[in-house]
Amino acid sequence: MGNQSFLFIIVFILIQLILPTHLLYFHIRETDRKCFIEEIPDQTLVIGKYKVELFDPQSNTYLPSTPGIGMHVEVKDPDEKIVLSKLYTSEGRFTFTSHIPGEHVICLYSNSTAWFGGQQLRVHLDIDIGEHAVDYQQISAKEKLTELQLRVRQLLDQVEQISKEQNYQRYREERFRATSESTNQRVLWWSIAQLLVLVIAGFWQMRHLKGFFEAKKLV
């Protein structure tokens, strides 16, 4: 039993090492900062996996692993407060759980010391949110569930995510309504204020000029 779980762990680790190299990737310069926006409800788990490769001009390819290149991962919550700010190695995994519903911004930038420009980096990235972040293979191994139990577990997670998202939608709609009502109020009060100012300015001008011309003995 010990041998079997050990073997399983080895295979599992191998999978984790192999998979990231086949994710979606994009290119950035060393000094660039790339940000992604995630609009999520509160109490949602977010897992991000990335891998960075450096361009080697001599061999004209991207080196699979370069020691010394690190990626700063900075996550800001909707109130612009920093939730996570850590430096990871060239291949890493970051997780955070949202405490406030709203737009979280995940920024990645390398720890390069160059002032501008720099070499090209290839970044493989995968961001999983909520129920996508749940690893069913791991759960199945840890809790020894049958396939049917695992599928029902997946359904439970999905339903929970849907209900969280519905709740978040109610919150968003409330904010939208508040914004619209505030705009309505502002249009009303500013229009009244401008009307009053125009009328008062008119009267003041008439009175002031009348006084001025009478003083100059022109009227």
Question: How many residues interact with another protein (rule CB under 8 A)?
Answer: 76
Binding to another protein (CB under 8 A) within 100-159 occurs at 125-129, 131-132, 134-137, 140-141, 144, 147-148, 150-152, 154-155, 158-159
3-state secondary structure 160-213: HHHHHHHHHHHHHHHHHHHHHHHHHHHHHHHHHHHHHHHHHHHHHHHHHHHHHH
DSSP assignment letter at 21: G
**Distance of alpha carbon 73 from alpha carbon 88, whole angstroms:** 7
φ/ψ of 37, rounded to 5, equals -105, 135
Taking the least distance from each CB to another protein, the nearer of 62 and 113 is 62
Binding to another protein (CB under 8 A) within 39-78 occurs at 39
Tell me which residue of 160, 44, 151, 50 sits closest to 103, measured CA to CA. 44
The residue range among 1-9, 61-69, 80-88, 91-99 that interacts with another protein, by the rule CB under 8 A, is: 1-9
The residue range among 16-24, 50-58, 79-87, 93-101 that interacts with another protein, by the rule CB under 8 A, is: 16-24
Q: Does 84 bind another protein (CB under 8 A)?
A: no
Q: Does 179 bind another protein (CB under 8 A)?
A: yes
Selected binder of another protein within 56, 82, 194, 219 (CB under 8 A): 194
Q: Does 34 bind another protein (CB under 8 A)?
A: yes
Q: Which helix (H) or strand (E) segment is 27 a member of?
A: strand 25-29
The residue range among 57-65, 93-101, 108-116, 191-199 that interacts with another protein, by the rule CB under 8 A, is: 191-199
| Alpha carbon of residue 81 to chain centroid | 12
DSSP assignment letter at 100: S
Taking the least distance from each CB to another protein, the nearer of 56 and 213 is 213
Task: In angstroms, give the least distance from the CB of 1 to another protein.
Answer: 6
Distance (Å) of CA 50 to CA 66, 70, 114, 181: 14, 11, 22, 43
Selected binder of another protein within 64, 175, 210, 214 (CB under 8 A): 175
